[in-house]
Amino acid sequence: MIWLFIIAITFSSVFVAELGDKSQLITISLASKYENRSVFLGVFSGIAVITILAVAVGAIVFQLIPLIYVKMIASILFIFFGINTLFFQDEEKIELAERRGGVFTSSFLLSIFAEMGDKTQLLIVALVARYSSPLFVLIGALIGMGTIIAIGVLLGSKIGEFIESKKIDMIAGSIFLILGVIFLLEVLFFG
């Protein structure tokens, strides 16, 4: 039954760590405008990839790729998506993006760069080291992340029902842009 304990501890830790985190804000924002399934699958796939890397490779990943570069790429992506959402969104682009997998791809990339080097991934590395049980930590982490993403999608879709698309674009674009600038300033001034 130790495996159940490890899954439960990992799930609880990841769930609490991700409440209100960048990934959940990204999910809420994207789900308020786009098709929920694509957002969920994109975000979950991206987070699954980075979580598997955290479990499989652990701290080595962060030693091979300097964290400053990961943070820089994440900052630039957030700024790009913010500007794109604020100034270049219309209904035809949204439909075209959804047909070509753009929503999935955007969700996937944003979630990867938001989570790489994040406290949750470092927590997962620590849990693998603590319990020496990568499979059960992975299961708990994916269930925790999946739950948080599902909550974000539900919140985002409800917000999308009550607020018109242009206002959502303004809010989402502003959030992405502000986060991107904050992340960029953090990298430039604090490394």
Q: Indicate the domain borders of the chain.
A: 2-190
Angle (nearest 5°) at CA 126 between 47 and 28: 30
Which whole-number Å values give the CA distances from 180 to 95, 98, 112, 159, in the listed order? 25, 24, 15, 23
> pLDDT per residue over 120-160, tens digit each?
877 787 777 677 788 899 999 999 999 999 999 998 888 87
DSSP for 87-125 reads HS--HHHHHHHHHTTHHHHHHHHHHHHHHTT-HHHHHHH
- The DSSP letter of residue 33 is T
pTM greater than 0.95 (yes/no): no
Mean pLDDT of the chain: 79
Element (H, E) at 52: helix 36-57
Extract the tokens encoding 157.
């879709």
> pLDDT per residue over 20-44, tens digit each?
777 888 888 888 888 889 899 999 9
What confidence score (pLDDT) does residue 59 get? Answer: 45
